[in-house]
Amino acid sequence: MNGPTTNGAPGARRFPDGFLWGAGTSAYQIEGAVNEDGRGRSIWDVFSHTPGTVRTGETGDIACDSYHRLGDDVACLAELGVGAYRFSIAWSRVLPSGRGPVNQAGLDYYRALVDELRAHGIVPVATVYHWDLPQALEDEGGWASRDTAELLAQYAAVLADALGDRVGMWTTVNEPQQTVHQGYRLGTHAPGHRDLRLAAAAAHHILLGHGLALQALRAALPARVPVGIALDPHPYRAVGEDAKLVATQLDADQNRICVDPVLHGTYPAHANPELLPPDALIHEGDLTAISAPVDFIGVNYYRPHYVRSGDWSNLRLGETPVPDHPGFVEYLPPERPQTVMGWLVEPDGLYEILTRLHRESRGLPLYITENGCAAEDYVNPDGDINDVERVDYIHGHLDAVLRALADGVDVAGYFHWSLLDNFEWAWGYRRRFGLYYVDYGTQRRLPKRSAAFYAGIVRSGELPALDPVVPELPLAPVAES
């Protein structure tokens, strides 16, 4: 890359000046304090308390206790040296039943968080909706109801009024596709439906929610404050000529179904008709609202998917049938590394998604709003957490970002997922994604080796060469509050 010169480390490559470094979390995954200060119940409270939904029956009732420890979390961010923090706001803390009177105590928590971030020179990046719908709205039909989209916009307006002068960037909705797919098709996430008709309606209404929330934020915020959406497109790779059509179909069903309406104002014609919202639900003007210009696209990237032909009656290790496509399987090529989630590690997938979105959005700024991996982290007898897999993952994916930048893609920032180990949805606390290890017994946050590695990159603005040179852990644990 013909970028600016480096500070002299041999082979290090430099990120552009102004590249925004950050880390992210979401409300239900870290806050806990589910019954405090007037917070209403969300669909994740109800879902996680339903037997058989979350591994080992865990819930977000306490999580990382961030509601009481925001100072600790901000101290971690300051130690990393990042310029920005991506967090989400719990709708039911601010509007306990999803609409109506504002719960001032709930808003005060976010005000305090935002002030603490600002005091440390860290830009607050707020997500309006990261999956925790107020249960009261689910009881009225949830995302299958059009009203929910309008209520999201009203809630966004409340946030813009209360926090608009302090939050530096907004994303409306996090990964609408996962809400639809896991929440309404598979039932593996809240609200746990398995109903294609509801899913098709939810797809349209959550995207409409994005469009209406975008309008509401724009109406209330100063023009300089960027607003975007976080999408999670992932490559579908066909192995063998015969799998190409299936891969294209999966791309339409899982990626284009959200990307196309937002970027082009259309639903993909070749997506499975059962997944597409019926025309009757799409009112005049909806697609114009959904495709109104955003200031940036947030990209959440973790892994690619591989498909090939396979025998459903004699599946091999790592193969799963592709629903509706008899004779085809998704599989994990054994020669490729995977994480403890069973997710393939493939930085080229990030490069591919960045270049594709660059092309399709005609050069909009892209922020990687999530990227990271779970690993079997543990504190060793010396007190260190030696998460070399995560160091390698970060190195590989930032290398992909540098390649995309070199090819002219406007990648404006990177937010590592996650700042902290947290409640990983249906996996509960069994999956650790953090740069900081959370000892759930004491709630102490301990920097992993990856935290030191990432802090080095953030501070120097450079990716070290080849095998990452990992410094000895220079970061001290954040004291208990």
Catalytic residues: 175, 370
Rule CB under 6 A: say whether 174 interacts with ligand FCB. Answer: yes
Considering only residues 336 to 375 of the shown chain, the ones binding ligand FCB according to CB under 6 A are: 370
d(CA 270, CA 124): 39
Binding mask 175-204 for ligand FCB (x = CB under 6 A): x--x--------------------------
Q: Give min distance, CB of 116 to ligand FCB, in A.
A: 22
Which one, 249 or 339, has the nearer CB to ligand FCB? 339
How crowded is the C-beta side of 376, counted as CA atoms within 13 Å? 4
Q: Give min distance, CB of 15 to ligand FCB, in A.
A: 23
Instruction: Give the amino acid at 130.
Output: H
Considering only residues 215 to 244 of the shown chain, the ones binding ligand FCB according to CB under 6 A are: 232
Candidates 261, 167, 270; CA nearest to 209 is 261
Q: Using CB atoms within 10 Å of the CB of residue 251, give its burial: 0 to 12 exposed, 13 to 18 middle, 19+ buried.
A: buried
Binding mask 409-448 for ligand FCB (x = CB under 6 A): --------x------xx-------x---------------
d(CA 305, CA 322): 11
Size of the site for ligand FCB (CB under 6 A): 11
Please list, in sequence order, all residues whose beta carbon lies within 8 angstroms of the beta carbon of residue 273, skipping any fewer than 6 positions away: none
Q: Give min distance, CB of 372 to ligand FCB, in A.
A: 7
Binding mask 12-51 for ligand FCB (x = CB under 6 A): --------------x-------------------------
Looking at 15-23, 173-181, 247-255, 382-390, which segment touches ligand FCB (CB under 6 A)? Answer: 173-181
d(CA 330, CA 314): 14
Which one, 103 or 127, has the nearer CB to ligand FCB? 127
Q: Give min distance, CB of 174 to ligand FCB, in A.
A: 5
Looking at 37-45, 146-154, 171-179, 261-269, which segment touches ligand FCB (CB under 6 A)? Answer: 171-179
Candidates 480, 475, 481; CA nearest to 78 is 475
d(CA 167, CA 114): 7
SS3 of the chain: helix, strand, coil, percent, to 5? 40, 15, 45
Q: Give min distance, CB of 11 to ligand FCB, in A.
A: 31
Which one, 92 or 422, has the nearer CB to ligand FCB? 422
* Cβ-contact 31, 62 below 8 angstroms: no
Considering only residues 270 to 309 of the shown chain, the ones binding ligand FCB according to CB under 6 A are: 300
Which one, 286 or 346, has the nearer CB to ligand FCB? 346
Instruction: Give the amino acid at 364.
Output: L
Calculate the CA 438 to chain-centre distance: 20
Q: Using CB atoms within 10 Å of the CB of residue 293, give its burial: 0 to 12 exposed, 13 to 18 middle, 19+ buried.
A: exposed
Tokens of 17: 């000046």
Which one, 180 or 243, has the nearer CB to ligand FCB? 180
Which one, 298 or 464, has the nearer CB to ligand FCB? 298
Which one, 15 or 302, has the nearer CB to ligand FCB? 302
d(CA 60, CA 282): 35
Calculate the CA 329 to chain-centre distance: 26
Binding mask 382-401 for ligand FCB (x = CB under 6 A): --------------------
Q: Fill in the DSSP letter of residue 409.
A: -
* Site residues, ligand FCB (CB under 6 A): 26, 174-175, 178, 232, 300, 370, 417, 424-425, 433
